[in-house]
């Protein structure tokens, strides 16, 4: 029985690793798709704000430069995702706005897993189209307490 459990655990661990690699590759491809589409759309920058706490977190806002060009994020692109069943990367037509969110959530999971838990975190992603860079500005929230106790006897 232990042998079956160990084999099953090892197979599951291998599948998780394959899926993680496929997800990382999908995110890289999607970043290229995002930057190419933004460049053609003449959008020079995108800022994505996120906030999370208490086991919940979400994208709060997506802003573009130049202002007022938000509708350009509704264009459909051929984004990719990694299937869990076989770890294959598949393409699907998706609004650019959704692909931007997927890339941001993937980056948060990669760099700061659990960002939405407890006191949570907040910050911004900045897509710089000219330099084709994605920068994460991350602010983790932490609650701390400091406890002390002192006792004395009548003699000391």
In angstroms, rounded to a whole number, what is the distance separating the alpha carbons of residues 135 and 126?
5
Q: How many CB atoms lie within 10 A of CB 153?
A: 5
Q: Which pLDDT does position 128 carry in this prediction?
A: 97
Q: What is residue 28's three-state secondary structure?
A: helix
Helices (H), 53-153: 96-112
- Please list the residues that pair with 93 across neighbouring strands: 78
pLDDT (0 to 100) of residue 127: 98
Whole-prediction pTM: 0.85
**pLDDT value, residue 1:** 62
- pLDDT in the model for residue 76: 97
Q: What are the residue ranges of helices labelled H in 60-124?
A: 96-112
- Bridge-based pairing of strands 89-95 and 121-128 is unpaired
Chunked mean pLDDT (size 10), the chain, 156 residues: 78 88 94 96 96 91 93 95 90 97 95 89 97 96 89 86
């Amino acid at each position: 029985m232990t042998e079956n459990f160990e084999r099953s655990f090892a197979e599951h661990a291998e599948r998780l690793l394959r899926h993680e690699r496929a997800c990382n590759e999908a995110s890289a491809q999607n970043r290229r798709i995002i930057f190419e589409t933004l460049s053609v759309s003449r959008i020079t920058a995108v800022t994505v704000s996120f906030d999370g706490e208490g086991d919940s977190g979400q994208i709060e806002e997506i802003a573009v430069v130049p202002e007022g060009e938000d509708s350009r994020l509704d264009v459909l692109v051929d984004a990719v995702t990694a299937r869990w069943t076989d770890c294959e990367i598949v393409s699907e037509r998706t609004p650019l706005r959704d692909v931007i969110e997927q890339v941001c959530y993937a980056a948060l999971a990669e760099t700061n897993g659990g960002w939405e838990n407890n006191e949570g975190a907040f910050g911004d992603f900045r897509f710089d189209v000219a330099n084709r860079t994605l920068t994460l500005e991350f602010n983790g929230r932490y609650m701390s307490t400091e406890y002390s106790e002192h006792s004395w006897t009548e003699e000391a």
